[in-house]
Structure 1
Amino acid sequence: MLGRMSARLATFLVFLLNGAVFGTWAARVPALAEQIGAEVGSLGLALLGASVGLAATAPLAARVCAVYGSRGVLIASALLSPALLPVLALSQSPLQFGLTLVALGGSIAAMDVSMNIAAVVVVRDLQRALMPQFHAGFSFGGLIGSLGSAAAAQAHWAPMRHFLVAALVCIVVTVLIAKKIPGGVGERHREEVTERRSVLKSPVLWLLASVALCSAIAEGAAADWSALFIVRERGMGDAAGAYAYAGFSISMALARWFGEPIQRTLGPHRLLATGGALAAAGLALAVAVPFPAAGYLGFGLAGLGLAFSFPVVMDLAGETGKRADGSGGERELGLVTTIAYTGFLAGPPIVGGLAHVSSLVVSLGFVALVTALIIPAAWLARRAARQRASV
């Protein structure tokens, strides 16, 4: 079976593994916070570590992938990311937790950039709008990771035991599929990609990056704070809190899985704007209606609305850098990913800081307003793209 595995399936599984690693530790934030004795303010600063690692590593990973291809970076980071989970479980203070998250965030960033470049290779080869389906793999992985976290919490597993099992499974799967992972740009493009090409002068790219930025803030808030919100603001247990992120991941995964015909029907920019409106409404519902059911429904709607933001933006960004021979787009993907990760960088301290002086209800309400900014950014990106095409 593995011998007949396609590059498309292998790439999908890599997305799934990345989501599983992220969902595994994100859904255990309440238990980890208790272990290190962190309140919302110090926890927000500790979670900043993952975002620092993400933002610092993404542009470097894009450069390496552009010259040497994405395959080696992808395999290495796919092995390292789960291996860092047990290290995370060793944390006994917010400082240790944050420093470990810097390393984990850097590894996840390298994996994120390289797997998106690999996905672009498959999309261009098959000439289909498959990017949402690949990102559905990340969402399915987040679902698997969060459900595993819920089961571990219900079984009263300590984070160390849980993370050791999760790491072993992820590493074994990576080893099994490594040979089928596509490679992206290789040595034959080295001279071309090492020429200095500015991607900073493209209005289309910056507008797409702003969509990714707002989406990342919202997605990061749901990942980092949904479980804690359900536990502390709605009075539920740790296992019930983990299901909040599970619902978010389920909605996002299903929307992305069926995203190809939806994207063809609405078009990419209209899809971005519609999704932003739905996500903002979902977050507003979660914080405005003081019942656990409204929280679960709201995070589910947020997952549904945010489902297409990142994959569609990555697809459009890759097209802006496409070369005549059908390759290219690595630096554009790196820039958009880096800007998006500043959303993950800014999100934890903003939500944690606002929650410290007010409550998680207020801070997540602010995130809902930020999410709504996706709507005008998407329409402006469409206008800028049309003007660029007419030149």
Structure 2
Amino acid sequence: MRDRTAVFAVFALNGAALGSWAPRTPAIAAQVHAVPGVFGLALLGASVGMLCAAPVSGRITERVGARAAVAGSTVVAAAALAFVGFAPNVALLACALFVLGAGVGSLDVSMNIAAVAVERRSGRAVMPTLHAGFSFGALAGSLLAGLAAGHGWPPARHLSVAAVLALAVLLAVLKDVPGDRPPKETAAPERGRAPIRRPALWLLAAVALCSAIAEGASSDWSALLMVTAHGVGQGAAALAYSGFSLAMAVARLGGAWCQQRFGATRSLAVGAGIAAIGLICAAVFTPAGFAYVGFALAGAGLAFAFPLALSLAGDAGRRVDGGGGERELAFVSTVAYSGFLAGPPMIGGIAQATSYSVSFVVVGAIAALIVPAALVAARARRREAVEAAV
């Protein structure tokens, strides 16, 4: 249980980084004097950083071990998080977000590889439960962000404190994170087709991609939607993402049971439908209460999409020696991060041309695309299994 607890804490750190700064977007946008379209381009920096880091993170983790990769990426992310709060203009904010995205992206891949190791060692489907750590971390970060905003803390002070706390937690749990550096003489060779040539992995990547766009919209833009469309204050606006994160965390705690009871495909499809309804409700219905409920439904519905996509991708690359899956997991993560790349400017552009409400209707439609992607992915996985057995 010590390795599972340590990995859970690392997931929480990653979520806390997002939950700390995302609800402060109104204050950060005002600090750098950015309109929605320009601010969306600044947010693009984080997505570019994640997309650049993801393709190489799998191989780096395979070479140095998950523990070292987790440590290095967390230090980089914490330093960048603090600098985000000090950014005086859009250009420097974009640079800080690029470094933050690279650190968080590397941490995301390395911690998921560590999670796959925990899952294989325990013989249980624990990936959704470990991802609940991310949601609880995001919840804690967003609640503290709302508290900081409500008490008038500037982003610089708030995010610096958050970075120091993250490093303290890392020091406390790092020794129990699985993933020592593998000996070169015992490293198993890669097997099977390249991920890019496997339709099942592309479909799993599509599931993760749509989920990434919907999650990114909820984290980056929910506070601005609440302020502009529903007329609430910045402190109350941060609670929208808090509700999203809480619902996602609770749903993920029951993820293993749902996966065993209903199967991965049905869990993905039903959850995506619930998420789409929630996002559209948050955008369409005027009373702020409906928006809070909508974001909670979206969090619960999206709870299984990303962890199940990564778990199935890791399983698709498993070798006979029990290792493997780094390439497949990094491939799915890279495609998913393109959602973070396309999402911010797309939503910002739609919001500037129309409204934040219209942009979230579009996000709801994107979440609904997970349903057909999950169904077709299940067929592709069965087809690949048959081909491998022949």
Shorter-normalised TM range: over 0.9
Matches within 5 A, 1:144-183: 144-183=140-179
Aligned partner (choices 339, 343, 352) of residue 339 of structure 2: 343
Q: Residue 303 in 1 paired to residue 299 in 2? A: yes
Aligned partner (choices 72, 75, 85) of residue 89 of structure 1: 85
Q: Residue 75 in 1 paired to residue 71 in 2? A: yes
Amino acid at match of 2:20: T
Structure 2 Cα separation of the partners of residues 203 and 55 of structure 1:
21
TM-score in terms of structure 2 length: 0.97
Matches within 5 A, 1:342-361: 342-361=338-357
Encode CA deviations 1:104-135: one digit per residue, 9 max, x unaligned.
00000010000000000000000111000110
Amino acid at match of 1:244: A
Q: SS state of the match for residue 59, structure 1? A: helix
Alignment check: 8 A CA contact 1:317 1:336 kept: yes
Matches within 5 A, 1:180-199: 180-183=176-179, 186-188=182-184, 192-193=188-189, 198-199=194-195
Encode CA deviations 1:260-303: one digit per residue, 9 max, x unaligned.
11111110111111111110011111111111111111111000
Alignment check: 8 A CA contact 1:205 1:336 kept: yes
Amino acid at match of 2:178: P
Matches within 5 A, 1:245-324: 245-324=241-320
- Displacement of 1:17 in angstroms is 0.6
Count of paired positions: 387
- Displacement of 1:185 in angstroms is 6.8
Tell me which residue corresponds to 1:211: 207
Amino acid at match of 1:117: I
Structure 1 Cα separation of the partners of residues 115 and 240 of structure 2:
29
Structure 1 Cα separation of the partners of residues 70 and 193 of structure 2:
24
- Displacement of 1:194 in angstroms is 6.7
Tell me which residue corresponds to 1:388: 384
TM-score in terms of structure 1 length: 0.96
Aligned partner (choices 354, 362, 365) of residue 366 of structure 1: 362
Q: SS state of the match for residue 322, structure 1? A: coil
Structure 1 Cα separation of the partners of residues 190 and 271 of structure 2:
37
Change in 2 beyond 3 A, CA 1:66/1:197? farther
Structure 2 Cα separation of the partners of residues 250 and 166 of structure 1:
19
Tell me which residue corresponds to 1:230: 226
Amino acid at match of 1:370: I
Alignment check: 8 A CA contact 2:282 2:295 kept: yes
Structure 2 Cα separation of the partners of residues 77 and 128 of structure 1:
27
Q: SS state of the match for residue 195, structure 2? A: coil
Amino acid at match of 2:5: L
Structure 2 Cα separation of the partners of residues 189 and 116 of structure 1:
25
Change in 2 beyond 3 A, CA 1:196/1:125? closer
Encode CA deviations 1:58-104: one digit per residue, 9 max, x unaligned.
11111111222211111111222122222111111111111110000
Structure 2 Cα separation of the partners of residues 189 and 382 of structure 1:
37
The percent identity for this pair of structures is 47
Tell me which residue corresponds to 2:96: 100
Structure 2 Cα separation of the partners of residues 85 and 99 of structure 1:
11
Aligned partner (choices 30, 51, 72) of residue 26 of structure 2: 30
Q: SS state of the match for residue 129, structure 1? A: coil
Q: SS state of the match for residue 323, structure 1? A: coil
Structure 1 vs Structure 2 CA RMSD? 1.4
Q: Which runs of 5+ in 2 are unaligned?
A: none
Alignment check: 8 A CA contact 2:11 2:131 kept: yes
Structure 1 Cα separation of the partners of residues 309 and 190 of structure 2:
24
Tell me which residue corresponds to 1:65: 61
Change in 2 beyond 3 A, CA 1:307/1:314? same
- Displacement of 1:193 in angstroms is 4.7
Encode CA deviations 1:191-240: one digit per residue, 9 max, x unaligned.
64578961111111000000000010000000000011001111110001
- Displacement of 1:259 in angstroms is 1.2
Structure 1 Cα separation of the partners of residues 181 and 237 of structure 2:
42
Amino acid at match of 2:14: N
Structure 1 Cα separation of the partners of residues 370 and 313 of structure 2:
16
Alignment check: 8 A CA contact 1:226 1:241 kept: yes
Structure 2 Cα separation of the partners of residues 236 and 184 of structure 1:
48
Aligned partner (choices 9, 12, 19) of residue 8 of structure 2: 12
Alignment check: 8 A CA contact 1:280 1:371 kept: yes
Structure 2 Cα separation of the partners of residues 188 and 125 of structure 1:
21
Change in 2 beyond 3 A, CA 1:246/1:90? same
Matches within 5 A, 1:129-148: 129-148=125-144
Amino acid at match of 1:353: G
Change in 2 beyond 3 A, CA 1:282/1:324? same
